Structure 1
Amino acid sequence: MTEVARAAATELDSGEPGGGQEVLDRLVGLLDLERIEENIFRGVSPSHSPVRVFGGQVAGQALVAAGRTVPAERAVHSLHAYFIRGGDPSVPIVYEVDRIRDGRSFTTRRVVAVQHGKAIFSLSASFQKAEHGIEHADPMPDVPRPETLPTLPERARGYPDVLGLRSRPRPIDLRYVNDPPWVTRETGERPARNQVWMRADGTLPDEPLLHVCVLTYASDMTLLDSPLARHGVYWDTDRVLGASLDHALWFHRPFRADEWFLYDTETPSASGARGLATGRFFAEDGTLIATVVQEGLLRVL
């Protein structure tokens, strides 16, 4: 284990609330995997993690593992993943990379995350060398600027148990455009759409794959807010059992994850104790940078 990763494992959930550069550096440390063999890597979780490993963490680490077997000039353009079992934060995660194909334009990798001898997560990712072609994109919704919106701790004022804000430092600065689900459940609103400004809470190194992995980490945050808010329930205020089932991301254009991006999500359907959510990421200048789809297990007791 690298020294940075070891420090990240012991300090990311150190019990101090808030965020900032120090907390972001710990996230970068978590993404700094140890290479065990040519195609085998090992990652760790924060020492004070919840019962299960955060899905965005294992997805980000798996993408790091895949990316470290691909030439730097080929950027990831899509990933498709399944969450198979809940991860155990008390033991390392081993990432096994299968080099599926190295073509003239595209590179394909498959990654399986293993704990206790069993697969907990699988990911397929495709990388492409830079090419020119046709261009178009949806416009960004008209929303207030992030600097004009309250921070997450300010939004949660009066709701001390929401999101574990008392004890969990956060590497992502997150600001709701609309009222968050723990508010709308009380006001009776049933919004089908959720909009949040996000950015890494500090400055990241100039490594494109790292920025993609940080956005992948952030993409598992607030995404299932949309189906829950539609029904007036929320994780920390109602009896909800939930987990990410699968996750797909398409990266359209270059971006920096330490600059503001808008996460615009909605829910087309919920059934069978599952909720589907779709999302679009826009850079602050309105550029569409990524699209995400996730289905989650949502059992409302």
Structure 2
Amino acid sequence: MTEPLASLLTALDLTDTGARTSEDIFTGPSQWMPLGRVFGGQVLAQSIVAATRTVEDDRSIHSMHGYFLRPGDVNFPITFSVDRIHDGRSFSTRRTQAYQNGLPILSMIASYQTEDDGLEHQVSMPEGLPEPEDLPSTASTLEDVQHPVAQYWASQRPFDMRHVTSPVYLSVEGEHVAEQAVWFRTIGEMPDDPALHRAALAYVSDYTIMESIMRRHGIAWATPGLKAASLDHAMWWHRPARVDEWLLYVQESPTAGGGRGLAQGRIFTRDGRLVASVAQEATIRLPRAD
């Protein structure tokens, strides 16, 4: 197993403190990041793991809505408190609050459901896109860029990310459109636990979704003075999937204004099954021109 993937699995292996008052309390580590802020996808995934620990095994997460309240500090662990809001015949609802130093950094509510039959339909996966094997990896794209963030993205992330056409790390090539697609999978094989795969899918869903906003305006991650942050994140799981197999993340931004941009995404398996939908609002700011 690669070190980045081992780090992900360690972060998702929360410690149950055994506290049982009105809430269940768990703790987890913060993964190192070059700028000192905890990756939002990490806190989302850990919050899901915490909530899942309090739900019956026959119920899987199907939706989540979370708000990023404060930036997390990689130098401190995170405490997760889970409120068992409701348990019905088919659905369970949980609220997870993530804390550092007594202050909330994320608030999330999630819903779980027993497996059930019902109506079935889905949108189709885009056709004619390059296969992931025909696209450069982030590692090959950024390996020669001597910047701590670039080096981290090149070698320390647990996912292999491959942008269809080109990434927006250093520049925005081609037409400035509010859409893009990214192939991804973990760098190495994951355990078979379906709940772990769902949590890891939430983790990776936060990596690139705001790039559909950035691409529309020709903004690359390397743009001097860029300040970008996720405000909230919503996700719906439709069908099971393994994150150690190639998945296609199709993203678009329908609107931006007022200092905020909205991005939406759909995640497909390689054979075209729609496994998840994502929405995120983000703030993206550039220095004011004199």
Instruction: Report TM bin, short chain.
Output: over 0.9
Deviation (angstroms), 1:23: 2.0
Post-superposition shift, 1:159?
Answer: 4.7
Counterpart-to-counterpart distance in 1, 2:99 and 2:157: 26
1:172–1:218 CA contact under 8 A, matched in 2? yes
For 1:33, which of 14, 18, 23 is the aligned residue? Answer: 14
Aligned to 1:251: 237
**CA displacement at 1:168 relative to structure 2:** 5.0
**Structure 1 stretch 85-94 or stretch 167-176: which is displaced more?**
167-176
Between the aligned partners of 1:259 and 1:99, the Cα distance in structure 2 is 33
**Residue matched to 1:134:** 119
Task: Tell me, in whole angstroms, the C-alpha distance in 1 between the residues paired with 2:227 and 2:206.
Answer: 16
Cα displacement (A) at 1:152: 1.0
Shift of 1:200: 1.0
Decide whether the 8 Å contact of 2:170 with 2:221 is kept in 1.
no
2-side partners of 1:266 and 1:184: how far apart?
A: 18
Aligned to 2:3: 22
> 2:36·2:75 contact (CA, 8 Å) conserved in 1?
no
Offset at 1:47? 4.2
The answer to whether the Cα contact below 8 Å between 2:142 and 2:150 also exists between their aligned partners in 1 is no
TM-score (norm 1): 0.89
1:272 aligns with 2:272: no
Match of 2:176 in 1: 190
Matches within 5 A, 1:214-225: 214-225=200-211
CA shift, 1:21, in A, is 2.8
Q: What are the ranges of 5 or more consecutive residues in structure 2 without an aligned counterpart?
A: none
Would the alpha carbon gap of residues 122 and 220 (structure 1) be closer, same or farther in structure 2, given more than 3 Å must change? same
Q: Find the partner of 1:122 among 107, 118, 125.
A: 107
Question: 1:172 and 2:153 equivalent?
Answer: no
Q: Contact between 1:182 and 1:233, CA under 8 Å: does it hold in 2?
A: no
The reply to whether residue 52 of structure 1 matches residue 41 of structure 2 is: no
The alignment partner of 1:181 has SS state of: coil
Q: Distance in 2 between matches of 1:88 and 1:59?
A: 15
Distance 2:168 2:241 in 1: 28
- The partner residue of 1:298 within 273, 280, 284 is 284
Q: Name the counterpart of 2:98.
A: 113
Structure 1 partner of 2:224: 238
Are 2:24 and 1:43 equivalent residues in the alignment? no
The RMSD of aligned alpha carbons is: 1.7
Shift of 1:275: 1.1
Question: 2:121 is matched by which residue type in structure 1?
Answer: H
Determine if the alignment matches structure 1 residue 154 to structure 2 residue 140: yes
Partner secondary structure for residue 257 of structure 1: coil
Determine the C-alpha separation between the residues in 2 that align with 1:165 and 1:158: 8
What does residue 145 of structure 1 align with?
131
Q: Deviations over 1:209-234 (max 9, x none)?
A: 10011111000001111111111112
CA distance in 2 between partners of 1:100 and 1:168 (Å): 40
CA contact (8 A) 2:34 2:149 kept: no
- CA change 1:289–1:48 in 2 (3 A) is closer
Pairs aligned (count): 281
Residue of structure 2 equivalent to 1:288: 274
Write the distance in 2 (CA, Å) between the matches of 1:223 and 1:163: 18
Contact 1:162 1:236 in 2 (8 A): no
Amino acid paired to 2:217: H
Deviation at 1:160, TM superposition (A): 4.3
Structure 1: unaligned runs, 5 residues or longer: 1-19
Q: Cα 1:49–1:35, aligned 2, differ >3 Å: closer, same or farther?
A: farther
Question: Could you give the per-residue CA deviations for residues 88-107 of structure 1, whole angstroms, max 9, x where no partner exists?
Answer: 11111110000000100000
TM-score, normalization: structure 2? 0.92
- Write the distance in 2 (CA, Å) between the matches of 1:162 and 1:93: 24
